[in-house]
Structure 1
Amino acid sequence: MARDSVLGTVERIWRYPIKSTGGEMVEEAEVDARGLVGDRLYAVRDAGGKLGSGKNTRRFRRMPGLLRLRSRYPGGVTTRTPELLDPDGTPVADPTGYVRHHLRRDDVEVAREDAVSHFDQLPLSVLTTATLDWVRAAVPGVPVDERRFRPNLLIRTPPGTRPFVEDDWFGGTARIGSALRIRFERSSERCVMINEAQQDLPHSPLVLRAVAQSHDLRLDALATVAHPGRVRLGDPLELT
């Protein structure tokens, strides 16, 4: 493998057990055809079958407040039902009951994925530190980290890497670790969710505005899984 084929290294791995809530950082994860095992496997679903999200579409229903909550798998075991954590980080005893109270809606439940995928688009979202640093510079005074963009993988890119370098990867296949292969397809079209308050990140309309003005609302690289495998912190991301 040529040295210049290394695009960066895996700096953080994020999994979101319950869609549209804050997720959990993990040191390693299995990745299958669906994506990170356990990622967005559960969602808040209303009586019409629409999924809680930051936007209204044919499949999704905007439910402000979900991002103030977090979810995690007890002990990191993805075969177990995930825990829902309140804004103080305390696990709640009854996730559905808590969400109904939190959202002030009695028609929602925390439900496991069935025939309808919980993903907005493709299985994996990959974001670089080069692009994240650009966003920080574009909105000085607004706290920004990768949680606003909800990637699965944050890739540490070499110094001098230009922002939005992810665009150069579309159509290519990359290796992560010994077995995992992913294919970069396109970028996400961003919505107001990246402005929303979550934990210690305040609401700000400037984030979406900056991405819209400079990069047509698009930010990250969405990927499909060409070959399953395992991803670990520090793994190189190599274009094949």
Structure 2
Amino acid sequence: MLIGHIKEIVRHPVKSFHGESVQNTKVMNYGLYGDRSHAFLDEKRPGKFLTITQFPEMARYKARFAGVESMEEYPEVEIITPAGKVVHWGDEELIKDIESRSNRKISPIAYTPTHVPLGAIEEEHIQLVTDASVEKLKEIWGKSVNYRRFRPNLLISLKEKIPFMEEAWFGERIKIGKQVKIQLKRHCERCMIITVNPDNGERDPDLLKTVVNERNNHFGVYASVIKTGDIRVGDEVSLIN
């Protein structure tokens, strides 16, 4: 049954940095190609990543893969700092800048194109939201909502604009395009990260309060990958048996 199509694909080459919108990519067994494949370890919290929770301004650093996807190695990761400076992954000045701004010692870590551990995204392979649910949340909150606050991988444009319809599909399988299959698993429980405006790093705690009070702290859903393959913006999204 056709339920909609992909409106936007977003991956985050660097965990907690502003992601990149892409027209097409591969879905790997861990999620979108290169999603959260590069990160910074927070030496104040051994074994943990530095995220927007500890340093909200991370949302203002933009990261993208500057090249063609390869299974051998990632394309170069290009980063634009809040000051507008263009640097690349591993740049020592970038590390010093983040350490100075966050008042934390950090260590860069990168995985391979074929394996990104679940800990990088922390919950499941893929997170998705729907356009109808975003529009409804705007109505509930009474303010404009940039869906990127929720850091999803897929924005789905629904054929029937029924808010939160995706929550009725837990346990169901979905086909995207001609190859990819995913299974919807469960709610995405939100945290303070959604209070951070991805455009300027400023916080608005009222959004989280609204999601807690009106949505039982749920917005967006998690999915696991069943079958890998290529996806692109505009691909049909269908419920399958």
Instruction: Report what 1:67 is aligned to.
Output: 59
TM-score, with length taken from structure 2: 0.87
Instruction: Report what 1:222 is aligned to.
Output: 222
CA distance in 2, matches of 1:126, 1:115: 19
SS at the partner of 1:187?
Answer: strand
Q: Residue 151 of structure 1: CA displacement?
A: 0.6
Work out whether 1:26 is the aligned partner of 2:22. Answer: yes
Q: Residue 43 of structure 1: CA displacement?
A: 1.0
**Compared CA separation, residues 115 and 156, structure 1 to 2 (3 A):** closer
SS at the partner of 1:53?
Answer: coil
Q: Residue 39 of structure 1: CA displacement?
A: 0.3
Work out whether 1:101 is the aligned partner of 2:78. Answer: no
**Compared CA separation, residues 76 and 137, structure 1 to 2 (3 A):** farther
Instruction: Report what 1:59 is aligned to.
Output: none
Following TM superposition, the consecutive aligned residue runs of length 4 or more in structure 1 with deviations greater than 3 angstroms are: 113-116
Q: Is the 8 A contact 2:67 2:76 kept in 1?
A: no
Instruction: Report what 2:47 is aligned to.
Output: 49
CA RMSD of superposed structures (Å): 1.9
Residue correspondence of structure 1 range 90-169 to structure 2 within 5 A? 90-92=85-87, 94=91, 95-105=94-104, 107-113=105-111, 117-141=119-143, 143-159=144-160, 161-169=161-169
Q: Is the 8 A contact 1:99 1:109 kept in 2?
A: no
Work out whether 1:82 is the aligned partner of 2:82. Answer: no
TM-score, with length taken from structure 1: 0.87
AA matched with 2:133: T
SS at the partner of 1:75?
Answer: coil
**Compared CA separation, residues 119 and 209, structure 1 to 2 (3 A):** same
Moved more, 65-74 or 230-239: 65-74
Where structure 1 has 5 or more consecutive residues not aligned to the other structure, the ranges are 56-61
Q: Residue 189 of structure 1: CA displacement?
A: 0.6
SS at the partner of 1:182?
Answer: strand
Where structure 2 has 5 or more consecutive residues not aligned to the other structure, the ranges are none
Q: Is the 8 A contact 2:67 2:75 kept in 1?
A: no
Q: Is the 8 A contact 1:92 1:98 kept in 2?
A: no
**Compared CA separation, residues 115 and 187, structure 1 to 2 (3 A):** closer
Moved more, 43-52 or 77-86: 77-86
